Amino acid sequence: MSAPHPLKIDYVEFASPRLEATESFFAEAFGWSFVPYGPDYRDIQNAGTGGGLERAALRAPLIVLKTEDLEAALDRIRAAGAEITAEIYAFPGGRRFEFKEPGGTAMAVWSAT
């Protein structure tokens, strides 16, 4: 049996209760630009990897991995000991689930299909 394909970091999602101030800071300090997806979410452009900024309570950035087979990734991550914090759900652009690895870091995995 061959080893499963590695999941790769694809996206970093930041949370800020002051979305506009954080967006302005990121633009001025880092040179990033943004595509708005409604009043509470921005897609970050020109940051070197995919990223997003959401209006939400402050928390550590969410690392998002990408896979071609979301169900298989969910099974694999659950079997490895993760706590699934959000089962698979749809969002504009794809589907994802969220989890905490055994050390407590919150992460997510997404797929375009």
Q: What is the CATH number of the domain that holds 73?
A: 3.10.180.10
Domain range enclosing 82: 67-113
CATH number at residue 30: 3.30.720
Does residue 102 form part of some domain? yes
Rounded Cα distance between 9 and 55, Å, is 22
| Token digits of residue 90 | 């749809």
Question: 73: closest CA among 108, 42, 106, 44?
Answer: 108
Does residue 71 form part of some domain? yes
DSSP annotation of 103 reads T
> What phi, psi does 5 have (nearest 5°)?
-65, 140
Residue-wise pLDDT tens digits, 18-45: 999 999 999 999 999 999 999 999 999 9
| Token digits of residue 77 | 């991550």
Question: Which helix (H) or strand (E) segment is 44 a member of?
Answer: strand 41-45
Rounded Cα distance between 49 and 95, Å, is 19
Residue-wise pLDDT tens digits, 39-95: 999 999 999 999 999 999 999 999 999 999 999 999 999 999 999 999 999 998 999
